[in-house]
A and B are shown apart, each in its own frame.
Chain A
Amino acid sequence: MEKTQLFLREGVTAMTQERKIKILMCCLGPETHNRGIITVSSMLREAGVEVVYLGNASPEEAIKAAVEEDVQVVGVSSLSGAHLRLGKALMDLARSRGLEGRIAFIMGGVIPPRDIPVLKEMGFMEVCPSGSTREEIVGCMKKAAQVVGMQ
């Protein structure tokens, strides 16, 4: 419940066809690094996206908030090397709740190149490793929202 305090509702809303773009940003588990997630959240907000900033959450909490907030995209920031295990837990949960295709999942952070195809295989639509530019990050998240919106 306390996390609602952190939600950002003041983001300017942008319209894609009929739905505005709304993205949930989170770190899974006890991840302690947050410069990345804050920077990306700010970039998205500047690009007119409504950002729900969840901060740290378990996969269950992230899925629950994504459904309640009715977002098109969930952005996950991972810097501590747990991306495969936590990514799988998140995607298994998403699949079991029938969210596949309804919500797009994108991972960013310190991710070795060889893990990128593994994450996509799990169901992440896109992976933005450290070093990705603003254009790449905002572009892929907006595109993900559009893909979901069309389904």
Chain B
Amino acid sequence: MQEEKIDAIKKTTRDVLKESFPRKEHTPLYNSEALSKLHAGFEQWKNQMVRKEDLEQWHQVPRTVLGSDIPRELVYTPLNLADFDYDTHLGHPGQEPFTRGIHSNMYRGRTFTQRQLVGFGAPEDTNARIRFLLEHGATGINLLFDMPTIQMYDCDDPMSRGSVGSCGVSVNHVGDWELLFQGIDIARETVSIVTHYPSNTAILFPMYLVMAERRGIPWEQLRGSVQNDVTLEEVVRNAAEYIPPRDCFRIECDNIEFIRSHVPRWNFITLNGYNLREFGTSGITEIAVAFAHAMAILDEMIRRGHDVDWVGERLAFFWSVGMDFFEEVCRLRAARRLWYKIMKYKYRARNSRSMWMRCHVQTSGISLVREEPLNNIIRSAFEALAAVLGGVQSLHVDSYDEAFAVPSEEASLLSLRTQQIIEHETGITKVVDPLGGSFYVEALTNEIEERIMDEITEIEKQGGYVEAVSNGFLLRKIYNYFYEEQKKIERGEIKIVAHNWQKSAHSEDIEAFRYPEEAEQKQLARLQKFKSERDPQEVESALKALKEACKKGVNIVPYTLNCARAGCTVGEQWKIFKEAFGLWKRPSFF
């Protein structure tokens, strides 16, 4: 038993799948006679019809922002899919291996959730924007915090001065949550709370739970998600202070364990490929890192004695969708198939739901530029179209003014309208996986799956996900990618219209969003009042108990929940984490 366990650790996921993937009876779609006939004709066509220079450059790499550099052939035929078996590679919609989608009827049954990000200023400012979007047909809430909150400083911390309410909403304590959700029915709406990091998920989500408690809403009724992702806290985040990756990973798993047990319909993690990719990496690395991370979580949860299906059912992913249209469609399909294989044949999941790669996607912010900003509407619309053709569950479309500021109300509405036009005017949601069966799409889906597996193996050879974070491997990989990409843009290999190609001659201003001026003062006064009204002894003992829990290694979330009830602030709890775990010196990326 012991030996078997050690052996399993040494084996890569690829090895495990190679051994356990069943060798079913194979029924290729194209018979060998047809293929050899096609082959002969194809060679003849190449010789007679295709120019010499096109033959020499048969494979070309599309150069796009955040692209993967996968070479593409001039044309694809069944010869690229000689081995193609419908049941093994595709299956019907809602059937294993889920390549065509996780539901049998896909968007006919339930459309993608139209979930636009919101967050700026004081809680009442964001509350007004959430209501505005809901009144205009948004079908979900997607909440973003300001820089101090996300980095876990209270608004009265010297570090926060000048940043309160920037790029998100300022939240310091339970009182701010109540203001933020005033007049919004949290038993009805699904709420995505973009906490990003495990540390602030452990602090902020319990405050949401306390708000529900005070409204008399049982936690079982709450639906939504938190992000809770080590990659974001330790790799993507720019910060003055980090806790060690091992401790951060433990907090992530504590959150999962607590939320799964007490808030059963809540997605306790959204494995965030998006921000990693937007930081600067390919769509292949994005998925490989998230999958390697998800496997580290499953291993830890199994170690803690939980059932794989209990955890797997609620794992959700968050991807960036960029400009290489077919690559993006195929990536989503490949990710679904590979995740299914991992869950079924590595982790032996029994419940179909735990084999689903469910995802929210956001169009790529980094693909948007400042020159001729209206062009960004077109970019985002193509990306959103790829996402829907790829079969996603939930979507945010970036706004055209994001290279200038957070979106204005008008720009925000335009993004929502983009989603509504795709859903109601293009007709593409009527047919499931409409690109399935294309020689090109299927060949590229296969290639991408293979490449994701290569990069998972690379991470496993580093000693696994947490080690690849700790030793700086991921940081270096990303740094190398985006530095090379910058050079490709400078050399004009990657063309961005009006930015480095057909460069715009005129510079223009747009009526960019203006932050509410008084948010910081309002929040400071509010925090002071809140602190004066709480019981200092209760606060102190709640924080003391949290610190002990951190050190003891028990699940910390009951203790942060207790802190939320006692009125402890975000900053007070982050301070406890830093004291209990100590600070980590992140490896340099240069």
A residues neighboring B (CB under 8 Å): 2-3, 5-6, 8, 27-35, 37-39, 41-42, 45, 53, 55-58, 60, 79-82, 85-86, 88-89, 110, 112-114, 129-131, 133-134
Please tell me if the beta carbons of B147 and A29 are within 8 angstroms of each other in the complex. Answer: yes
List which B151-181 residues lie within 8 A (CB) of chain A.
151, 153, 158-163, 166-167
Residues of A within 8 A of B508 (CB): 113
Residues of A within 8 A of B86 (CB): none
Secondary structure dominating the interface of A: mixed
Please tell me if the beta carbons of B369 and A35 are within 8 angstroms of each other in the complex. Answer: no
Please tell me if the beta carbons of A112 and B490 are within 8 angstroms of each other in the complex. Answer: no
* Alpha-carbon distance between A8 and B590 when the two chains are bound, in angstroms: 9
Please tell me if the beta carbons of A82 and B162 are within 8 angstroms of each other in the complex. Answer: yes
Please tell me if the beta carbons of B479 and A81 are within 8 angstroms of each other in the complex. Answer: no
Please tell me if the beta carbons of A2 and B509 are within 8 angstroms of each other in the complex. Answer: no
Instruction: Check: B405 CB closer than 8 A to any chain A CB.
Output: yes
Instruction: Check: B537 CB closer than 8 A to any chain A CB.
Output: no
A–B Cβ pairs within 8 angstroms, 26 of them: A2-B585, A5-B588, A6-B588, A8-B590, A29-B160, A30-B148, A30-B160, A30-B163, A32-B147, A35-B279, A35-B482, A39-B486, A56-B238, A80-B146, A82-B147, A85-B162, A85-B163, A110-B404, A112-B405, A113-B509, A129-B370, A130-B403, A131-B369, A131-B499, A133-B490, A134-B490
Residues of A within 8 A of B167 (CB): 79-82
* Alpha-carbon distance between A60 and B370 when the two chains are bound, in angstroms: 32
Please tell me if the beta carbons of A112 and B404 are within 8 angstroms of each other in the complex. Answer: yes
* Alpha-carbon distance between A32 and B583 when the two chains are bound, in angstroms: 18
Please tell me if the beta carbons of A30 and B370 are within 8 angstroms of each other in the complex. Answer: no
B residues neighboring A (CB under 8 Å): 146-148, 150-151, 153, 158-163, 166-167, 237-240, 279-280, 366, 369-371, 403-406, 479, 482-483, 486, 490, 499, 507-510, 512, 515, 520, 583, 585, 588-590
* Chain A residue with the shortest CB-CB distance to B366: A35
Q: Pick the residue among B371, B509, B515, B520 that contacts A81 (CB under 8 A).
A: B515
* Alpha-carbon distance between A41 and B153 when the two chains are bound, in angstroms: 27
A83 to chain B, nearest CB (A): 9
* Alpha-carbon distance between A45 and B482 when the two chains are bound, in angstroms: 16
Residues of B within 8 A of A131 (CB): 369-371, 403, 499
A79 to chain B, nearest CB (A): 8
Q: Pick the residue among A5, A56, A112 that contacts B512 (CB under 8 A).
A: A112
* Chain A residue with the shortest CB-CB distance to B475: A38
Residues of B within 8 A of A58 (CB): 158-159, 161
- Evaluate whether A86 and B163 lie within 8 angstroms (CB atoms) in the complex, with A38-B589, A58-B158 already known: yes
Residues of A within 8 A of B515 (CB): 81
Residues of A within 8 A of B512 (CB): 112, 114
Residues of A within 8 A of B147 (CB): 29-32, 80, 82
* Alpha-carbon distance between A60 and B159 when the two chains are bound, in angstroms: 10
Residues of A within 8 A of B371 (CB): 131
Please tell me if the beta carbons of A27 and B166 are within 8 angstroms of each other in the complex. Answer: no
* Alpha-carbon distance between A88 and B510 when the two chains are bound, in angstroms: 23
Please tell me if the beta carbons of A30 and B153 are within 8 angstroms of each other in the complex. Answer: yes
Q: Pick the residue among A2, A81, A86 that contacts B405 (CB under 8 A).
A: A81
* Alpha-carbon distance between A131 and B376 when the two chains are bound, in angstroms: 14
Top 8 nearest A-B pairs (CB, nearest first) are: A34-B238, A85-B162, A80-B167, A30-B151, A112-B512, A86-B162, A82-B166, A29-B163
- Evaluate whether A55 and B161 lie within 8 angstroms (CB atoms) in the complex, with A110-B405, A130-B403 already known: no
B244 to chain A, nearest CB (A): 14
Residues of A within 8 A of B150 (CB): 30, 32
* Chain A residue with the shortest CB-CB distance to B583: A2
Please tell me if the beta carbons of A57 and B240 are within 8 angstroms of each other in the complex. Answer: yes
A136 to chain B, nearest CB (A): 12
Residues of A within 8 A of B239 (CB): 30, 32, 55-56
* Chain A residue with the shortest CB-CB distance to B369: A131
Residues of A within 8 A of B406 (CB): 81
Residues of A within 8 A of B237 (CB): 32
A24 to chain B, nearest CB (A): 15
Residues of A within 8 A of B160 (CB): 29-30
Q: Pick the residue among A5, A34, A42, A80 that contacts B590 (CB under 8 A).
A: A42
A9 to chain B, nearest CB (A): 11
* Alpha-carbon distance between A38 and B280 when the two chains are bound, in angstroms: 11
Residues of B within 8 A of A85 (CB): 161-163, 520
Please tell me if the beta carbons of A80 and B163 are within 8 angstroms of each other in the complex. Answer: yes
Please tell me if the beta carbons of B159 and A29 are within 8 angstroms of each other in the complex. Answer: yes
* Alpha-carbon distance between A3 and B588 when the two chains are bound, in angstroms: 11
* Alpha-carbon distance between A60 and B366 when the two chains are bound, in angstroms: 31
Residues of B within 8 A of A56 (CB): 238-240
* Alpha-carbon distance between A30 and B239 when the two chains are bound, in angstroms: 7
A119 to chain B, nearest CB (A): 14
Please tell me if the beta carbons of B483 and A29 are within 8 angstroms of each other in the complex. Answer: no
Please tell me if the beta carbons of B483 and A39 are within 8 angstroms of each other in the complex. Answer: yes
Please tell me if the beta carbons of A81 and B162 are within 8 angstroms of each other in the complex. Answer: no
* Alpha-carbon distance between A89 and B366 when the two chains are bound, in angstroms: 29
* Alpha-carbon distance between A144 and B510 when the two chains are bound, in angstroms: 29
* Chain B residue with the shortest CB-CB distance to A84: B162
Residues of B within 8 A of A60 (CB): 158
